[in-house]
Chains A and B, each alone.
Chain A
Amino acid sequence: MTKIIYIEREIKDHFRTKLICSKISNPEIIVIDRFSEIFNKKNQSFKLQKNDPALIIAKKYKNLIHKTPENYGIGNKYNYYFSYMYNCLFDCKYCFLQGMYSSANYVIFVNYEDYYDEIKKISITNKKKNITIFSGYDCDSLAFEAISNFMSCLIKKMPEYENIELEIRTKSTYSKLFSKNIIKNVIIAYSFTPDRFSNKYEKGVPSVDKRLKVIKRLSNLGWKLGFRFDPVIIYEGWQEDYKELFIKIFQNIDIDNVHSITFGKLRFPDTIYKKLIKENMTESLFFNLEKKKNSYESSNENNIEGFLIENLTKFIDERKIFFNN
């Protein structure tokens, strides 16, 4: 666990800063002015920092919630996303964060109330619209929850915002916050790749079986669940492994609780790919990505879309399946 903590002067005495620090044994604290002094600077190496990430506690002033790209969604027309944290405890070899930032240190913004207020504002100003808000873009939504407590506070507020669905996307098994009192407009969305791939390429991510155990409990309680196969990874034997994975998941849960399934190819915008490849020249996972207009992505030859639709509809109504590209 991280030991070095950089703290912005302004929130040095914030109760949440103190709470977070109290959960880390004997931290070494360095006071800074703004997190941007040390985060995502030119001469930093994501790869080297990832070996021993430090924690940066900061305050976010603007751009707390963003609109998603046009065609991104799970059924609603209006979609937003946010991240109360940058970077992730896990280390997936394909993670786009390594192409987005030059720094792997964790940044956590402690002014949670400002995020909650923004969500409230969106709910109030869009009363007649159905909206989805996604969390877990620049981080895993729950991997840091034992320390941050962000989602635990947020989900308690969600019943007030009936026109909003909150998607909490994760690969973590942390589930303390999901009690018997289910919250109808919260979707807990689990990302999966097959075990054989995950063991090798998703360092720190709990095994498929461990995650399924948690999912089964949540399904029994009646929580709405999402399944995210994004990215689908092409490798020798991928089709068999994915078929097996689908059986393992969908034969073990109450299908009625499945809110949605999304999937997508392994893909990166140009700028992210170029940065990512610079530090991962020899990573064979990226060898066969094809150059498209503004991106690099898996080849169409593999017919990911056809294969996934064919095999997922064996379990789930096609209207609940979304292809993100």
Chain B
Amino acid sequence: MSKTKIINFLVALKHEALPIIDYFGLNLNDKKHRNIYSNVEQNVFLIISGIGIENAKKAVIKLKKLNNNKDDIWINIGIAGHKTLKVGSIYEVKKVISSNNENTFFTNSFYNKVPTSTVCCVNKEEKKYNNKYLYDMESYGFLEALDSPTIKENIFMFKIVSDNLQFKPKSYKNFSVSFISKHIRKINTILDKYRNKPPESFYDISLILNIIKNKYHVTFYNKKKLEKILTKIFIIKSQKEIKNDVLVSKSLNGLIKKYESYLTKYILKI
């Protein structure tokens, strides 16, 4: 089992994806999914959703079919408009509202040394900016599709200001490539902080379970029970000791009982 969490990127357009594809060495691995790029070894995936709330939603659902672990990290990167904010500056989005929907969505609540902002997600290009919000067209769909069962603390969103009342880039394509390239290292450093899985996720319980299965018939109920017990036993006994316990055991019931009693009699060591 991998020690790092999977990262799933969602971007709206190919030119927003290019700097990420380049930085993480992603490839178009699956001919069936022409908009999904990945570096399986590094546990990094990216989907290009297309513009709009519905497309973003569909893209999350599609990528979820490939990666559906509760602790995966999901991140939306893109460009956004604002009335006054400096073009090229980056914001971490903590709250998303929509011009047409009642719901409000939130991302993680961590401080990542990046200024934060609220996004107002719109269906068509916004002409009248409210100074309180950044404007984009995908964030709402992205978060709506992730609302369950992804843990909020694993959801991130970064927006780079592409235009304000004073400035519009000549080419959004060039702007995206250039400014996402500029910020991607910083974003990766932030994500790195959250990628490590807690150690309990990678104790080699499956190895012991296989040894047990080779020796005894294990029902589904007992498998679940053993998983719970072994998670704890791994904290207080070495793998070698556990293997030996299995080898010398005379019945599965006996082994389970032995461990249950071992745990209730366990005295904490400091």
What residues make up the interface of A, taking CB atoms closer than 8 Å to B?
2-4, 6, 28, 30-33, 37-38, 41-45, 47-49, 51-54, 105, 196-197, 200, 233-237, 281-282, 284-285, 287-288, 290, 299
**Beta-carbon contacts under 8 Å, B102-116 to A:** 104, 106, 109-111, 115-116
Q: A44-B152, A48-B151, A282-B231 are in contact. Are A288 and B109 (CB under 8 A)?
A: no
Nearest chain-B residue to A33 (Cβ)? B104
A87 to chain B, nearest CB (A): 12
Contacts of B153 in A (CB 8 A): 44-45, 48-49
Write the B142-156 contact mask toward A (1 if CB under 8 angstroms, else 0): 000001111111100
- Tell me whether B109 and A285 are in contact (CB under 8 A): no
Bound: A44/B146 CA distance, A: 12
The secondary-structure label for the interface of chain A is loop
CB distance from B135 to the nearest CB of A (A): 17
Query: Which B residues have a C-beta under 8 Å from some C-beta of A?
Result: 94-95, 104, 106, 109-111, 115-116, 118, 147-154, 194, 198-200, 228, 231-232, 234-236, 263-270
Known: A30-B118, A281-B232, A282-B234. 11 other contacts (CB 8 A): A28-B111, A43-B147, A49-B109, A52-B110, A235-B268, A236-B270, A282-B235, A285-B268, A288-B263, A288-B264, A288-B266
Whether B148 lies near A42 (C-beta < 8 A) is yes
Nearest-neighbour CB distance to chain B for A286, whole angstroms, equals: 9
In contact, B270 and A235 (Cβ under 8 angstroms): yes
**Can you identify 17 A-B contacts, CB atoms within 8 angstroms?**
A28-B94, A30-B95, A38-B109, A44-B152, A45-B152, A47-B198, A48-B194, A54-B110, A54-B111, A236-B268, A281-B231, A282-B199, A282-B235, A284-B235, A287-B263, A287-B264, A288-B267
Q: How far is the CA of A197 from the CA of B269 in the complex (A)?
A: 10
Contact A196 B270, beta carbon cutoff 8 Å:
yes
> Which one of B111, B228, B266, B269 lies within 8 Å of A3 (CB-CB)?
B111
Of B111, B148, B231, which one neighbours A52 at CB under 8 angstroms? Answer: B111
Q: How far is the CA of A237 from the CA of B194 in the complex (A)?
A: 37
- B interface, over-half SS: mixed
Q: Contact at B115–A28, with CB atoms within 8 Å?
A: yes
Chain A proximity of B204: nearest CB distance (Å): 14
A204 to chain B, nearest CB (A): 18
CB-CB under 8 A from B232, the residues of chain A are: 281-282, 284, 287
Ranked nearest first, the 3 interchain pairs of A and B with the lowest CB-CB distance are A235-B268, A3-B111, A48-B153
Taking the closest CB of chain A, its distance from the CB of B174, in whole angstroms, is: 30
A43 in contact with B95 (CB, 8 Å): no
Are B270 and A197 touching (Cβ within 8 A)? yes
Contact partner of A4 (CB less than 8 A), chosen from B110, B151, B266, B269, is B110
Chain B residue with Cβ nearest A44: B152
A40 to B166, CA, bound (A): 42
